[in-house]
């Protein structure tokens, strides 16, 4: 089983990773929302990077402190 790593520098990067993983799992935004208790429109905002201001600040602090944020997911995980 292979895995994919995505380095997260800004909130948009995380949104793209969420969208990619959701699509790999064969889920719609609505199904992902139901799974997580979020609305479809909020899932859309996250994936498109329109809901990232707090996350961007947190990531900036982590980068300035020398951290590297990475998301890793297995291609076949459910």
State the pLDDT at residue 52: 81
Identify the domain containing residue 56 by its residue range. 3-73
Q: Is 18 helix (H, G, I), strand (E, B) or coil?
A: helix
Give the mean model confidence (pLDDT) for residues 24-40.
96
Write down the H helix ranges in the chain: 11-24, 29-36, 40-48, 53-64
Does the residue 78 lie in any domain?
A: no
**CA 4, CA 6: separation in Å to the nearest integer?**
7
Of 59, 71, 51, nearest in space to 10 by CA: 59
State the pLDDT at residue 51: 87
State the pLDDT at residue 76: 62
Q: CATH number for the domain including 54?
A: 1.10.260.40
Q: pLDDT tens, 41-58?
A: 999 999 998 988 888 889
Q: How many domains does the chain have?
A: 1
User: 1: pLDDT confidence band, cut at 50, 70 and 90?
Assistant: low
Q: pLDDT tens, 57-66?
A: 899 999 999 9
């Amino acid at each position: 089983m292979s895995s994919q790593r995505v380095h997260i520098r800004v909130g948009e990067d995380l949104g793209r990773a969420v969208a990619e993983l959701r699509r790999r799992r064969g889920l719609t935004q609505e199904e992902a929302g139901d799974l997580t208790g979020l609305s479809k429109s909020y899932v859309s905002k996250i994936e498109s990077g329109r809901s990232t201001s707090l996350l961007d600040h947190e990531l900036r602090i982590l980068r300035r402190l020398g951290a590297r944020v990475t998301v890793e997911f297995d291609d076949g995980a459910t």
